[in-house]
Amino acid sequence: MSKNYFILFFSIFTLSFLPSNSFGQKKSKEQVDVSLKTNPKLVVGIIVDQMRYDYITRFWDQYGNNGFKRLVNEGFNCKNNHYNYAPTSTGPGHASVYTGTTPAVHGIIGNNWYDKVAEGDVYCAGDDSYNSVGTTSDAGKMSPHRMNVTTITDQLRLHTQMRGKTIAIALKDRGAVLPGGHTANGAYWFNNGAWITSSFYMDKLPSWVEKFNADKSFDTYKKPWKSLKNVKDYVESGIDYNAYEGLFKGEKSSVFPHDLPKLWDANGKYEMLKATPFGNSMTADFALAALEAEELGTDDITDFLAVSFSSTDYVGHKFGVNSKEIEDTYLRLDQDLERFFKELDHKVGKDEYTVFLTADHAAIDVPAYLRDLKIPADYIVWDDIKTKFLQFLQFNYGTTDIVKDFSNDQYFLNHNVIKNLDLSIQEVQEDIAKELLTYKGIDRTYTAYQMWQNDYTHGIPYILQNGYNQKRSGDVLVVLSPGTISYPKTGSTHGSPQIYDTHVPLLFYGAGIKHGSTVGRTEIDDIAPTVASLLGISFPNGTSGSPIVEVLQ
């Protein structure tokens, strides 16, 4: 008997015998409900784009009491929470949190990937069969159609006969489209100074969104980005002036303050806000407007607000994980969270909502910085490898056509060419895997054949297999050496199966959540089944994770 059945059975058992028990106690309704489900008025899912777990601990002393600290001090902290697949990037990350499974099942194998059937590049949330709503550009032509399974948000909609509402919000389209699932009432993202959507959801922006856009409240963020506190007090980060940070166009050095009004036109105008903490503030503003206008969490039918804070990723990519800019961005996000929770207390009620906060991936320390500290780290330039690799293909097979594409650290082979040459696909995969292993910066290689034949249970092969989708993934999988990335020498990136990309925060807070923490390993696909258990609803239909039992009351 599984644990859940046991609890259910036990509840029924106690119910039927209680009226006649010798103490004459009445079984309260509350006790019955607790064993079945928690019924928050609202679930708030928060994904912070590119948040490392250690941002909680490193910046702890600088945070206020009512943002991140409120979640940790009053909620549940899963300290050892990991992505259990690669590539660790935004599209797969958002899909995995909400579907409770990995790219092997949900099919979002990258932000972009080579589509073997269409023989071209596809975007994870792109869908030309729909139109943009709220913009004349193509930025709204999106839908979750490439995500093959349901999300926790879909399951809530199904469970409530579509009465529970789902609204999803992020600066990035994929950060809203994938969490919203296939049945969202609305998903909105930011494009050139306006919140927009897709005709997948609606034919016209709701009046509250039109009004929000017309008010141009985001114009207030066109101001110099000064540090929130004295930058000298940011002792948790490296020095402000260093060689490891990128620049805004038109800037001579990457130190505070960053003069947004002056740099505005050269950096894409409103698009520039995305790479500053103000992008997160704008997201919080818009999420609060949605809370009010959509009347989320105002009745007994649970609603879902999915919010993704994307600016942290843009800032991390530009300035790196050890920059003063990233610290400032997190201190400001902490304030945005405080403001957000305060409003939820006010509008929904303090104990009436449940929050989870996680990230879509973490990020690496800038390898150039690590190298200067004598820590093994490096950069790989694929174009340098390409010449040698093409020579290998030409020499061995008499043609370079054997490789169709390289993306997300996977080589896609042309199976027709291989068959016409009367070669075995398995052998070609193995030969290429062995050749690549001789190149500097490549640490391990695996073949699709291995992914098919084995059932890996731990380590890097396990992570690759969870990211390997039989219909969509490539033929040869490459893992770079620890500390090695393919990226400019400034700023941080992510995407690998290494622990610096997989270790992300996971905090639960609010209705139905215990206070506590664990250092036991939890995995990203455990989030959706945990929330489903809390709500007493069906798991998303591809779920591979398990509920984290310690979290739930």
Please list the active-site residues.
Answer: 90
Greatest distance between any 2 Cα atoms in the chain: 88
The C-alpha atoms of residue 100 and residue 190 are separated, in whole angstroms, by 26
Min dist CB 494 to Zn ion, Å, is 6
Q: Which two three-digit tokens encode residue 454?
A: 């084995």
Which residue, 116 or 174, is less far from Zn ion as judged by CB?
Answer: 174
Min dist CB 103 to Zn ion, Å, is 16
Half-sphere exposure of 53 (CA within 13 A, CB side): 20
Whether the CB-CB separation of 395 and 408 falls below 8 Å is answered with: no
Chain length of the chain: 553
Min dist CB 52 to Zn ion, Å, is 12
Q: What are phi and psi of 546, to 5 degrees?
A: -130, 150
* Residue entry with tokens 């949330």: 125
Min dist CB 244 to Zn ion, Å, is 17
Which residue, 267 or 354, is less far from Zn ion as judged by CB?
Answer: 267
Handedness of CA 161, 163, 169, 173 (dihedral sign): positive
Phi-psi region of 107 (alpha: psi -120 to 50; beta: other; left: phi over 0): left
Which residue, 90 or 148, is less far from Zn ion as judged by CB?
Answer: 90
The C-alpha atoms of residue 473 and residue 521 are separated, in whole angstroms, by 27
- Which residues does 356 contact at the CB level (< 8 Å), separation at least 6? 43, 44, 45, 46, 506, 507, 508, 509, 527, 530, 531
Type of residue found at 175:
G
CA distances from 7 to 1, 275, 514, 530, 549 (A): 10, 48, 17, 16, 13
Q: What are phi and psi of 236, to 5 degrees?
A: -80, 0
The C-alpha atoms of residue 286 and residue 306 are separated, in whole angstroms, by 12
- What would you report as the CA-atom Rg of the chain, rounded to the nearest whole angstrom? 24
Min dist CB 94 to Zn ion, Å, is 12
Type of residue found at 376:
P
Min dist CB 157 to Zn ion, Å, is 29
Q: Which residues bind Zn ion (CB under 5 A)?
A: 313
Q: What are phi and psi of 138, to 5 degrees?
A: -85, 5
Min dist CB 502 to Zn ion, Å, is 14
Which residue, 91 or 297, is less far from Zn ion as judged by CB?
Answer: 91
Which residue, 89 or 544, is less far from Zn ion as judged by CB?
Answer: 89
Which residue, 244 or 509, is less far from Zn ion as judged by CB?
Answer: 244
Instruction: Select the residue whose beta carbon is closest to Zn ion and give its number.
Output: 313
Whether the CB-CB separation of 495 and 501 falls below 8 Å is answered with: yes
Q: What are phi and psi of 126, to 5 degrees?
A: -75, 140
- Where in 441-493 does DSSP place strands (E)? 442-447, 476-480, 484-485
Angle at the Cα of 190 (from 185 to 192), degrees rounded to 5?
Answer: 140
Give, as one character, the DSSP assignment of residue 10. Answer: H
Type of residue found at 88:
T
Min dist CB 495 to Zn ion, Å, is 8
Which residue, 313 or 338, is less far from Zn ion as judged by CB?
Answer: 313
Which residue, 313 or 409, is less far from Zn ion as judged by CB?
Answer: 313
Min dist CB 363 to Zn ion, Å, is 7
Min dist CB 317 to Zn ion, Å, is 6
Whether the CB-CB separation of 539 and 528 falls below 8 Å is answered with: yes
The C-alpha atoms of residue 329 and residue 191 are separated, in whole angstroms, by 21
Helix (H) or strand (E) holding 305: strand 303-309
Relative to beta strand 403-407, strand 410-413 is antiparallel
